[in-house]
Amino acid sequence: MSQMNVNIQELNEKIKQESSFVDLINLEMSKVIIGQKHLLEGLLVGLLSDGHILLEGVPGLAKTLAINTLATTIEAKFSRIQFTPDLLPADLIGTMIYSQKKEEFQVKKGPIFANFILADEINRSPAKVQSALLEAMQEKHVTIGSETFDLPKPFLVMATQNPIEQEGTYPLPEAQMDRFMLKIVLDYPQKNEELGIMRENLEVEFPTANKVLKPENIMKAREVVKEVYMDEKIENYILDIVFSTRYADKYNLPEFKNMISYGSSPRASINLAKAAKTYAFIKRRGYVIPEDVRAVCYDVMRHRIGLTYEAEAENITSENIITEILNKVEVP
């Protein structure tokens, strides 16, 4: 046991040193973005876990500004793609163009060849375009004509959807939502935060973030995140949370048996473990505690629980179910 303690201590020291850049990023981001702490944490969790993020929130909550600022701090390439009903997969991934000078077809790469992609209002474009983006997210490469091209590393997609307008939109199917590691729901800022935002926008010069990292620093940090220690008790805690969405009555939650149409997939367990490790890393700790799991649970799980008509009729949301699960499942 003492050997284990020594290792944990060493690991803790290592993680403390390796995660020092998190403070730098937070410092630069907070120059530009006031409030939205949860969004900034979510972006870091996605980035360091090699996962993609789905953001839901009304317009004007700094979604574009946040990912653009993050790209600036990491000296990475940023692309914003506005999804529209007439967008084609070629507008996203690129196409073959005939060059008269060389008398041959040449590849013209699309905006997806960047480190950070903001897929704005992903539910505005048809399934063909959505699936082209999701394929790139999953495979990390793109095929144009007969050639396959690797996407740059790190590669992070942040897709936004507007919850208020449903007319003329193409909702993401549940199976495709599962590809996103996190679904973050944004709320309006507090009154004092909005005062700061208003003042910031009336300044002579809008603040900008400085470059503090390079993409290779992120790739190195991802390897270190994998070293964060997770005890078997925490692993079982994660499994209990996920399994209780599938077998509610076995986990002392009989009231949800008719509320959940389908439970979370194994991707939920994988992503909950990854996100918990990353959250511990962001908090500069070398080991995962139950609070880390609880902190990321809503973002990882909310789009992975199917609700029945009964649940919708009673205004029960996936968040209500997650809250009840976290209250009932035994904490190690």
What are the pLDDT tens digits along the chain (332 aa)? 334 454 778 888 888 888 888 888 888 888 888 878 888 889 899 999 999 999 888 777 887 888 888 888 888 888 888 888 888 888 888 888 887 887 788 888 889 999 888 888 888 888 888 888 888 888 888 888 788 889 998 898 988 887 766 666 677 777 778 889 999 988 888 888 888 888 888 888 887 888 888 888 888 889 989 989 899 999 999 999 999 998 888 888 888 888 888 889 899 999 999 999 999 999 988 899 999 999 999 999 999 988 889 888 888 888 888 998 898 888 88
Q: What is the CATH number of the domain that holds 243?
A: 1.10.8.80
Domain of 314, in residue numbers: 1-32+227-332
Instruction: Decide: 41 and 49 in contact? Cβ < 8 Å.
Output: no
Rounded to 5 degrees, what are φ and ψ at 21? -65, -20
Which of 150, 170, 203 represents a domain boundary (last residue)? 203
Has residue 184 been placed in a domain? yes
Tokens 């503090």 correspond to what residue? 212
Has residue 220 been placed in a domain? no
Instruction: Decide: 269 and 239 in contact? Cβ < 8 Å.
Output: yes
Return the ∠ at Cα 233 (arms to 231 and 239), rounded to 5°: 110
Same domain flag for 45 and 193: yes
User: Number of folded domains in the chain?
Assistant: 2
Same domain flag for 186 and 122: yes
Has residue 150 been placed in a domain? yes
Same domain flag for 87 and 173: yes
Same domain flag for 169 and 97: yes
Has residue 210 been placed in a domain? no
DSSP 8-class letter at 124: G
Q: Which one-letter amino acid corresponds to residue 226?
A: K
